[in-house]
Amino acid sequence: MASIKDVAAEAGVSVATVSRVLNDHPSVSAEARTRVLAAVETLGYRPNAVARSLRTDQTHTLGLVISDVLNPYFTELARSVEEEARALGYSVIIGNADERPDLQDHHVRNLLDRRIDGLLVSPTDGGSPLMLDAARAGTPMVFVDRWIPGVDVPVVRSDGRAAVRDLVAHLHGLGHRRLAIIAGPAATTTGRERVEAFREALGAYGLELPDAYIGQGDFQAESGRRVTEGFLDLPEPPEVVFAADNLMALGALDAVRARGLRVPDDIALAAFDDIRWFVHTDPPITAIAQPTGELGRAAVRALVDRIEGRPGESVTLPARLVVRRSCGEPPASSEPSPVTNRSQS
Amino acid sequence: MASIKDVAAEAGVSVATVSRVLNDHPSVSAEARTRVLAAVETLGYRPNAVARSLRTDQTHTLGLVISDVLNPYFTELARSVEEEARALGYSVIIGNADERPDLQDHHVRNLLDRRIDGLLVSPTDGGSPLMLDAARAGTPMVFVDRWIPGVDVPVVRSDGRAAVRDLVAHLHGLGHRRLAIIAGPAATTTGRERVEAFREALGAYGLELPDAYIGQGDFQAESGRRVTEGFLDLPEPPEVVFAADNLMALGALDAVRARGLRVPDDIALAAFDDIRWFVHTDPPITAIAQPTGELGRAAVRALVDRIEGRPGESVTLPARLVVRRSCGEPPASSEPSPVTNRSQS
DNA sequence: CACGTCGATGTAATCGATTCCACGAGCATC
DNA sequence: GATGCTCGTGGAATCGATTACATCGACGTG
């Protein structure tokens, strides 16, 4: 592969001049510039990003560590992150933690070793020493979706509290009184918060959230199935199951179906995180939708701000309830075809 | 951030010795080794991967350029690729082309600039000059899922021919005679092949595939919707729509629903690429499932073989038909809960 | 005319690793 | 005791870029 020396030789100038042309430094003669560009062309030269990074101590790369690539929510987040990063001149390297703290650490370490300029994390747990050290050491960092309390890092997330209140109002209005939740891992903020928001919303209607109606899941489908089976085995099963993410909702659906029961007649189902397939499931699933694309973009902007020396602020956006038929009677107005409102930018 | 020099100073040895310890070169005294390791520990030193790559001309990184991250098929592929790569000591950088040749080129260029050791591509088009040059220049490369004819690069893919024959047999058995297909872009091999396999399978039953029953899609949901509307507007609409990927099937479902029609009573639907949600859609969708995880793993093995100087061979694995209810009467045997057979490794 | 300024260019140091080569000590062999 | 190994180690070159500093010629000004 041709290096800058080859280009310099071909153009009959020094490497310094070639470098100046490439980084369009002002003081280069038009003559030299054209000769260099011609040489670049004939040799098919491309600057070696590795060498450049070593010298400049910048990789123009962001690391993104997400909890689970197979979850459409994170996949959409990753897409918007990459898009915004590209617009700002950065590349993104994605690490998939699969909800495993050890894998998360593996990726964080790997990304730091590669000297990425900044790190975007949706933490799987309460924060490993590695991540805490990185934050303290001043690595530009931003949390998305989930965060770690007590760490001085901007957080970009959505607040589902109001949407959960709307959901409970909707459920209460349909006559449901025994409401259960499939929670996410207690080590994650979203795992805890969604339960709290749910409990609080129930309280407003004088309803309790008994321990038996809190199932411990891990944001994966299998746990949703297991927890739902437990609910169905209860002497007094809940009338509604609220899954704290879409994959656990899928597992819940599997469990209900395996028993030969039907949604919503035998048991109602709602989920946190809306996905396109929910429109076409049997029945269409009522869900809380986050402004995923906007979250990803805001997170990148906050991170790049930090990298480039600006403050970089936390952002909280509201989620909203999307009513479908999985909790009972159909919504008043029919939903427009989802294909057309896919991108909300 | 501490460098190798700092470690050498702290341990009272030369950088050469530190490097030897780190790469466990045999001739280092036990004494020196422990001193270096202690210094590494106290300084929290981590080797700079950028510098190392510059010197060794190896990044231990694979590039993966996929056509669409939002497509669960590619997401699953990406996951298995990363997993196998990690097991073999490589990292993966994913580039999402969004079915756009220009974006694909952007990512290929970016990855080459970063001097990745090898490239895994699922091409969006017939091959840009950039990609052809890279292949000719000897960049270790492997195609997954889709490929570019006439380029001497191993291909890891699945052959859906037999499964498509099974599908047509199934449809024919249910009494369907007017079968239509939503094709993928003609620039992609999978776009063309699936139509050809379908036509061939129809031929075995003496059925034609008229032009009016071939809709041109682009593997995105919106095109599935558009094409399906066209089919429904035909004086003699098809009895079955076969979507060449899962997103176009989603679009088709949207279109059918928007007309107030029902699957499979009014029109049957089948898809290429199975996803977990198809079990719970209304109705459950009959699909052709690829051994996605195995494809990803095989592709990585082939690529790493090439990188490390071994031949690196093409692999073709069979796809299989999964019958559900979207084409008519339910399958004879009920499907086991899909949660449990998620991983097929 | 002498001098300062400015623009264009080249030389060389530098980033943080790896690795070739040389060197000295210790030890076995003849 | 000289010779030749092996082993452990350090010095220095190297990878491919960027950039501070020096140089040199042309040009404007007093």
Pairwise CB contact (< 8 Å): B94 & A94: yes
CA A31 to C1' D22 (Å) is 23
- The enclosing H or E element of A38 equals helix A30-43
pLDDT-based confidence at residue B253 (cuts at 50, 70, 90): very high
Burial class (CB in 10 A: 0-12, 13-18, 19+), B60: middle
Answer whether residue B345 shows pLDDT above 90.
Answer: no
Chain A residues lying within 8 Å of B277, measured CB to CB: 250, 277, 281
Using alpha carbons only, what angle is made at residue A102 by residues A97 and A103, rounded to the nearest 5 degrees? 30
A169 lies in the same domain as A256: yes
User: If we measure between CA atoms, which residue out of A189, A180, A120, A142 comes closest to residue A161?
Assistant: A189
- Paired tokens of A89: 């001149």
Question: Would you call the peptide bond into A336 cis, given omega within 30 degrees of 0 as the criterion?
Answer: no
CA A180 to C1' D12 (Å) is 70
| B contact test, residue of A1, A40, A50, A66 with most B CBs within 10 A | A50
Q: Yes or no: say if B35 and B12 are a contact pair by the CB < 8 Å rule.
A: yes
Please indicate, yes or no, if residue B342 is contained in any of the structural domains.
Answer: no
CA B107 to C1' D8 (Å) is 46
Q: What is the pLDDT of residue B330?
A: 60
Please indicate, yes or no, if residue B327 is contained in any of the structural domains.
Answer: no
Q: What is the pLDDT of residue B331?
A: 52
A229 lies in the same domain as A212: yes
Question: Which residue positions in chain A have pLDDT lower than 70?
Answer: 330-345
B184 lies in the same domain as B124: no
> Which tens digit of pLDDT belongs to each residue from B292-340?
999 999 999 999 999 999 998 999 999 999 999 999 876 555 454 444 3
Chain A residues lying within 8 Å of B255, measured CB to CB: 337
A141 lies in the same domain as A173: no
Backbone angles phi, psi at A272, to 5 degrees: -90, 140
Pairwise CB contact (< 8 Å): B281 & A283: no
CA-based end-to-end distance of chain B: 41
Pairwise CB contact (< 8 Å): A339 & B251: yes
Q: Which residue has the tokens 């859609």?
A: B281
Q: Which residue has the tokens 């919303």?
A: A201
A169 lies in the same domain as A272: yes
Answer whether residue B111 shows pLDDT above 60.
Answer: yes
Non-local (6+) Cβ contacts of A212 within 8 A are A234
CA A305 to C1' C11 (Å) is 37
Range of the domain at B83: 59-157+292-313
Q: What is the pLDDT of residue A337?
A: 44
> Which tens digit of pLDDT belongs to each residue from B195-217?
999 999 999 999 999 999 999 99
| CATH, residue B37 | 1.10.260.40
Flag residues 9-28 of A with CB < 7 Å from strand D. Answer: 15-16, 19-20, 22-23
Chain A residues lying within 8 Å of B54, measured CB to CB: 48, 50-51, 54
| CATH, residue B304 | 3.40.50.2300
Bridge pairing between strands A286-289 and B286-289: unpaired
> Which tens digit of pLDDT belongs to each residue from B18-46?
999 999 998 899 999 999 999 999 999 99
Chain A residues lying within 8 Å of B69, measured CB to CB: 75, 78-79
Closest residue in B to A138 (Cα) is B1
CA-based end-to-end distance of chain A: 41
Please indicate, yes or no, if residue A333 is contained in any of the structural domains.
Answer: no
Question: Would you call the peptide bond into B237 cis, given omega within 30 degrees of 0 as the criterion?
Answer: no
Based on the structure, what is the number of domains in chain A? 3
